[in-house]
A and B are shown apart, each in its own frame.
Chain A
Amino acid sequence: MIRIEVSRRRQHSQFFAIASPFIALAITIVVGAIMFALLGKPPLAALYAYFIEPVTELWSVHELLVKAAPLILIAVGLSVCYLSNNWNIGAEGQFVMGAVAGSILPVLFPQITGPLVLPAMLVMGMIGGAAFATIPALLKARFNTNEILSSLMLVYVAQLFLDWLVRGPWRNPEGFNFPETRTFHADAILPEIWSASGRAHYGFLFALIAAAVIWFVLSKTIHGFEIRVLGESPRAGRFAGFSARRMIFAAFLLSGALAGLAGISEVSGAIGRLTPSISPGYGFTAIIVAFLGRLNPIGIVIAGLFLALSYLGGEAAQISLGISDKVAAVFQGLLLFAVLASDTLIRYKIAIVRTGALTNGGAR
């Protein structure tokens, strides 16, 4: 028999704290290569299409930033949630509600134009996402309701609400019955950063700013300490005078607002109108981004870029090698598994031992 033996380290391993995301990447790539080989595709060519090809041209680097923006924005907010032990997994719903709230102006009041429209939309998007995230926060703080289940259930509610809006009251009257709203007017479009070379819009800058601000809060202020203490030991937090209840609201409101900002930025910067499906699962992929970035905003920026690559790579591999773009979702799931497995190395020593007649395994 072979057995995995885990024993607690006296101190967290500094080495593995840095190395674990890279170990996870290596595991994912090896497993991915095996998977491609099993599918009958040349593994190296497939890996090239996934992880290299999308960054070989300037326009596709822009596309990378378009996809990375919502992932980073959402994941930065989630990192605060997870560090403080608040399991918000409904960011997808907060993304959708942010997009809906932010779209009120250009869809219902297209006659209102001017330079103030866009800032108003962004603020309304943040409010929409934060308001939707308040529901699981309130239920957790007031009734002790499991926030994992309530926030996830609300994702379905938000998606159905969006579906109803774009097929019903918000449908474009001149749209030949397509389920989509009117196209946003020019003042409601989030501009491109460098429009001469590609599509990347200001959403990516918002993501970088959010990451920088949260990094500062987490590592340089008392609030960062408060978040960690309440997350790791609520009892110790209480003795220090920190309020777990206030932290629930702070974490959910912040992550909801950032998810909402991601939603309205995506709709106003990349799509230009509301449709029934405005997200290829950004809210869920961002959970992977948060963990791959080790819940650290700087790590999250890098992880967000990498997972954005998996979306682009999925499209590229479908075109060049005929590999289903569903493989991207498999890669993402694998990656989270690998990250969690590698993170174990930080806190535990792992030994694979052979147990049998010759060892004293039976004596334990």
Chain B
Amino acid sequence: MSPDMAQAILLTIATAATPLLIAALGELVVERSGVLNLGVEGMMIMGAVTGFAVAQLTGSPWLGVLAAVIVGALFSLLFGVLALSLAANQVATGLSLTLLGLGVSGMIGENFIGLPGVKLEAISIPVLSDLPFVGKVLFNQDPVFYLSLLLAVGIWWFIFRSRAGLTLRAVGDNHASAHALGINVLKVRYLAVMFGGACAGLAGAHLSLVYTPQWTEDMTAGRGWIALALVVFASWLPFRVIIGAYLFGAVTIAQFHAQALGIAIPSQFLSALPYLATIIVLVLISANRRMTMRNTPASLGKPFVPDR
């Protein structure tokens, strides 16, 4: 394989991995607060349609990204009201957020099918992007790519090095004790859920403004669910999410490169790879109980109703 080709492959892996990374990082924060939001797919597709539509109407992809982030956060509030304030079942509520998101995005997006998209252009970082080989891959990328890596570092710092992060973990590990300590459990969880929604919205905008700048129905194609699996894979650690996201990015683009290399496997089988890989990875991780138990937020998925 020539260096040029390797570089091209690395570039596509990074592009495929970025939305997974962002959505998974957002969900990681949500789950660290003890909330399981299965609505990632729905928030992501809402971000994708919003980003595309706003960029189309205003001509500015930046406004599209901004709108997607806001809509993602607002959409997650629906989940928040139900699962946090009304203490509804989190699994069912998350599912309904996904179903609603797929429906609403389909309805909004109908007006945008087939329209040319507005692409968020790459930003070349001077000097660094001229470095041999790694320059193109790491320093000549779209802005959301840079943001995704900053986000990973920022979230790691927040969770493990800041006081607010300690509060977040306390709420996720034992909401009753956190409440007794005077922490406003629901407020922390609302903020976490909205952060997760904003991240999922951003991930969706990356799909419709960078990855494939166009709108097609259900274009997230299960990426929100894969992001959920990545959080488990990473055992709730931000840097492991990066590894997971890039592994899955590689699996996702394998289908395109396999065809280019002339490997004669039906395309459907290659398309199924990311989903099968998700299952295999989940099995490997969950079979190792010690590893999963260590970081799993103990209150994950349990509704909290303060005593009055």
Q: What is A's interface to B at a CB cutoff of 8 Å? A: 4-8, 87, 89, 139, 143-146, 148-150, 152-154, 156-157, 160-161, 163-164, 167-168, 284, 287-288, 291, 324, 326-334, 336-337, 340-341, 343-344, 347-348, 350, 364
B222 touches A153 (CB 8 A): yes
Report 10 cross-chain contacts, Cβ distance below 8 Å, ordered by A residue.
A87-B91, A145-B282, A149-B279, A153-B222, A153-B279, A160-B272, A284-B99, A291-B92, A326-B106, A340-B93
CA distance A254 to B278 in the complex (A): 25
CA distance A341 to B86 in the complex (A): 7
B174 within 8 A of A: no
A149-B272 in contact given A6-B87, A326-B110, A340-B88 (Cβ < 8 Å): no
B225 touches A153 (CB 8 A): yes
Residue of A nearest to B91 (CB): A87
How would residues 254 to 293 of chain B score, 1 for a CB under 8 Å from any chain A CB and 0 otherwise?
A: 0000000000001011011001101100110011010000
B87 touches A143 (CB 8 A): no
B103 touches A348 (CB 8 A): no
A333-B282 in contact given A7-B305, A343-B88 (Cβ < 8 Å): no
Q: Which residues of B contact A167 (CB under 8 A)?
A: 268
A143 touches B286 (CB 8 A): yes
* CB contact between B276 and one of A4, A146, A153, A328 (< 8 Å): that residue: A153
* CB contact between A324 and one of B82, B92, B107, B272 (< 8 Å): that residue: B107
A146 touches B286 (CB 8 A): yes
A149 touches B268 (CB 8 A): no
A329 touches B102 (CB 8 A): yes
Q: Which of B97-139 contact A (CB under 8 A)?
A: 97, 99-104, 106-107, 110
CA distance A145 to B286 in the complex (A): 5
A149-B100 in contact given A340-B89, A348-B86 (Cβ < 8 Å): no
B85 within 8 A of A: yes
Q: Which residues of B contact A364 (CB under 8 A)?
A: 308
CA distance A287 to B102 in the complex (A): 15
Chain A nearest CB from B283 CB (Å) reads: 5
Chain B nearest CB from A135 CB (Å) reads: 8
Residue of A nearest to B277 (CB): A153
Chain A nearest CB from B255 CB (Å) reads: 11
Q: Which residues of B contact A337 (CB under 8 A)?
A: 78, 82, 93, 96-97, 100
* CB contact between B271 and one of A87, A160, A330, A343 (< 8 Å): that residue: A160
A6 touches B228 (CB 8 A): no
B305 touches A333 (CB 8 A): no
B38 within 8 A of A: yes
CA distance A145 to B232 in the complex (A): 10
Q: Which residues of B contact A327 (CB under 8 A)?
A: 103, 107
A168 touches B229 (CB 8 A): no
B95 within 8 A of A: yes
Chain B nearest CB from A333 CB (Å) reads: 3
Chain B nearest CB from A51 CB (Å) reads: 17
Chain A nearest CB from B197 CB (Å) reads: 15
* CB contact between B278 and one of A8, A89, A149 (< 8 Å): that residue: A149
Q: Which of B228-247 contact A (CB under 8 A)?
A: 228-229, 232
B222 touches A145 (CB 8 A): no
Q: Which residues of B contact A336 (CB under 8 A)?
A: 92, 95-96, 99-100
Q: Which residues of B contact A152 (CB under 8 A)?
A: 222, 225
B95 touches A139 (CB 8 A): no
Chain B nearest CB from A266 CB (Å) reads: 20
Chain B nearest CB from A219 CB (Å) reads: 22
CA distance A149 to B277 in the complex (A): 12
Residue of B nearest to A140 (CB): B286
Chain A nearest CB from B242 CB (Å) reads: 20
B85 touches A149 (CB 8 A): no
Q: Which residues of A contact B275 (CB under 8 A)?
A: 153-154, 156-157
A333 touches B222 (CB 8 A): no
Q: What are the 8 closest A-B residue pairs judged by CB atoms, nearest first?
A: A333-B100, A329-B103, A336-B96, A164-B268, A330-B103, A326-B107, A160-B268, A326-B106
With most chain A CB atoms within 10 A of its CB, the pick from B78, B96, B221, B278 is B96
B104 touches A330 (CB 8 A): yes
Given contacts A150-B283, A332-B99, 5 further A-B pairs with CB under 8 A are A148-B91, A152-B225, A160-B271, A333-B103, A344-B82
Q: Which residues of A contact B225 (CB under 8 A)?
A: 149, 152-153
Residue of B nearest to A147 (CB): B282
Q: Which residues of B contact A291 (CB under 8 A)?
A: 92
B88 touches A341 (CB 8 A): yes
Chain A nearest CB from B104 CB (Å) reads: 5
B85 touches A6 (CB 8 A): yes
Chain B nearest CB from A286 CB (Å) reads: 11
A156-B86 in contact given A144-B287, A329-B102 (Cβ < 8 Å): no
How would residues 75 to 91 of chain B score, 1 for a CB under 8 Å from any chain A CB and 0 otherwise?
A: 00010011001111101
Q: Which residues of B contact A331 (CB under 8 A)?
A: 103
Q: Which residues of A contact B102 (CB under 8 A)?
A: 329, 333
* CB contact between A330 and one of B85, B107, B308 (< 8 Å): that residue: B107
Chain A nearest CB from B98 CB (Å) reads: 8
A164 touches B269 (CB 8 A): yes
Q: Which residues of A contact B228 (CB under 8 A)?
A: 149
Q: Which residues of A contact B278 (CB under 8 A)?
A: 149, 153
CA distance A129 to B305 in the complex (A): 39
Chain B nearest CB from A282 CB (Å) reads: 13
Q: Which residues of A contact B110 (CB under 8 A)?
A: 324, 326
How would residues 184 to 195 of chain B score, 1 for a CB under 8 Å from any chain A CB and 0 otherwise?
A: 000000000000
Chain B nearest CB from A287 CB (Å) reads: 6
Chain B nearest CB from A281 CB (Å) reads: 9
Chain A nearest CB from B280 CB (Å) reads: 10
